Amino acid sequence: MLVSQFQARRVQSWRQLEELLRQKSREQTAQNFLQFVRLYRAVASDLSYAQTFYPNENVTEYLNGLVSLAHHRLYRRTSRSYTTVWDFYRRVFPSLFRRLAGYILAAGLVSALGGVYGYLLVLLQPIQAYHLLPPSFLHQFHPSQAGPHTVDAPLMSSVIMTHNIFVALMAFVGGMSIGIYTGYALWQNGMILGVLAALFQSSGHATVFWSLIVPHGVTELLAIFVAGGAGFRIAHKIIAPRQLTRAAALRLGTVDAVQLMLGTVPMFVIAGTIEGFVTPSPLPEWTKFLVAVLSGMGWFIYFRFIGRKPSGQNFDFGRDRLVSGHKRPRQSEPRRFFRK
């Protein structure tokens, strides 16, 4: 059966389930509830069929969202996919990171390109630093005066961290600009880091600079990339809603994006803790680099292995299949998914 034929035969039931989902729970009669259960089972069966025969078609994504919303309405009193902060960070966030890794990688790539650009430009023409760096960076410290005992480490790292948190928020919100401002924020942040690296290297203090950046920077930059990935996720749903209405596509994308942003909260807390205790400490530089390596290894293990089933699959939520062939519920009320 062609996907268009499948859609034409079954779309009426899908519309009916959408209409019932728009009703508030307290407005549903017993008859409506029985109809809701019948339609839920029928549409869940359609989803299972679509996953088997049309796994990459838009109709499968639509049915995923519809069944998820219906599942939440039906079982929200007795079954929740994650109700505690612990469950979110233990299962949902690392699984979501893996599923949306492409967006996060794109964010990291944009930032890295900005860093290379700023580094090479200032290395060749140091005067460009005064045109590229924000005033707050120029006024707080100067690389020509840097040294193990002359750099104001707490001040320098605090300025950079405050800037990075702002960048993360802008990268996330920038998704509404179809990703243009997200890309700009990531590029600018990477460029600033590249400019500073070039300045400190030119003055002979590259090791001092990196020993003040990487201990907390590994975690902090990763959090920025995650925030940028969230912004790109929103932008992608706006640009390419496919058969979904743009509003419905945006809503589905925003659920993932907001969860990614929530995941960055403890990352910034951890980065701030490292910044407060390691950066200003008199520890030797190699110790600070070791902290960076251990942080990187910790995040690799967390995002690579945590939040998987014993079989190695991700825990169920979002687009991940339940044993029954359904999807976990999304936490929003449905509107008309297909374009008319």
**What does the pLDDT look like over 225-246, one tens digit per residue?**
999 999 999 999 899 887 677 8
Q: 235 and 189 in one domain?
A: yes
For residue 330, give the DSSP letter. P
Residue 125 lies in a domain: yes
- The CB-side HSE value for 203 (13 A sphere, CA atoms) comes to 17
Compute how many other C-beta atoms are within 10 angstroms of the C-beta atom of residue 123: 17
Q: 111 and 26 in one domain?
A: no
Q: 99 and 22 in one domain?
A: no
Residue 312 lies in a domain: no
* pLDDT classification of 340: cutoffs 50, 70, 90: very low
pLDDT attached to residue 25: 58
pLDDT attached to residue 67: 85
Domain holding 284, by residue range, is: 87-305
Phi, psi for residue 271 in degrees, rounded to 5: -60, -40
Q: 327 and 281 in one domain?
A: no
Closest CA to 237 of 256, 219, 221: 256
Angle at the Cα of 174 (from 69 to 92), degrees rounded to 5?
Answer: 40
- pLDDT tens column, 162-210: 778 889 999 999 999 999 999 999 999 999 999 989 988 888 888 888 9
Q: 115 and 211 in one domain?
A: yes
Q: 227 and 158 in one domain?
A: yes
Q: 51 and 187 in one domain?
A: no
How many whole angstroms separate alpha carbon 295 and alpha carbon 90?
A: 18
Phi, psi for residue 44 in degrees, rounded to 5: -60, -40
**Tokens representing 278?**
């390691």
Spell out the alpha helix ranges (H) of the chain: 3-22, 30-53, 58-75, 85-87, 93-99, 101-124, 129-132, 135-140, 153-173, 180-202, 206-239, 246-277, 285-305
* pLDDT classification of 278: cutoffs 50, 70, 90: confident
How many whole angstroms separate alpha carbon 152 and alpha carbon 248?
A: 49
pLDDT attached to residue 287: 92
pLDDT attached to residue 80: 47
Please indicate whether residue 147 or residue 128 has the higher confidence score (pLDDT).
Answer: 128
- pLDDT tens column, 7-63: 888 888 888 888 888 776 555 555 666 777 778 888 888 888 888 888 878 888 888
Residue 151 lies in a domain: yes
Residue 310 lies in a domain: no
Q: How many domains does the chain have?
A: 2
How many whole angstroms separate alpha carbon 184 and alpha carbon 171?
A: 8
Q: 91 and 68 in one domain?
A: no
For residue 126, give the DSSP letter. G
- pLDDT tens column, 244-268: 778 877 887 888 899 999 999 899 8
How many whole angstroms separate alpha carbon 304 and alpha carbon 296?
A: 12
Q: 123 and 245 in one domain?
A: yes
Q: 325 and 272 in one domain?
A: no
Residue 311 lies in a domain: no
Residue 314 lies in a domain: no
How many whole angstroms separate alpha carbon 95 and alpha carbon 56?
A: 20
Q: 182 and 237 in one domain?
A: yes
Is pLDDT at 141 greater than 60 in this prediction? no
How many whole angstroms separate alpha carbon 89 and alpha carbon 266?
A: 9
Q: 327 and 242 in one domain?
A: no
Residues 6+ apart with CB under 8 A from 205: 143, 146, 147, 151
**Residues 318/332, Cβ–Cβ less than 8 Å:** no
- The CB-side HSE value for 193 (13 A sphere, CA atoms) comes to 26
Compute how many other C-beta atoms are within 10 angstroms of the C-beta atom of residue 243: 15
How many whole angstroms separate alpha carbon 216 and alpha carbon 295?
A: 8
Residue 219 lies in a domain: yes
Residue 248 lies in a domain: yes
- pLDDT tens column, 59-105: 888 888 888 888 777 666 434 444 578 888 888 899 999 999 999 99
Is pLDDT at 313 greater than 90 in this prediction? no
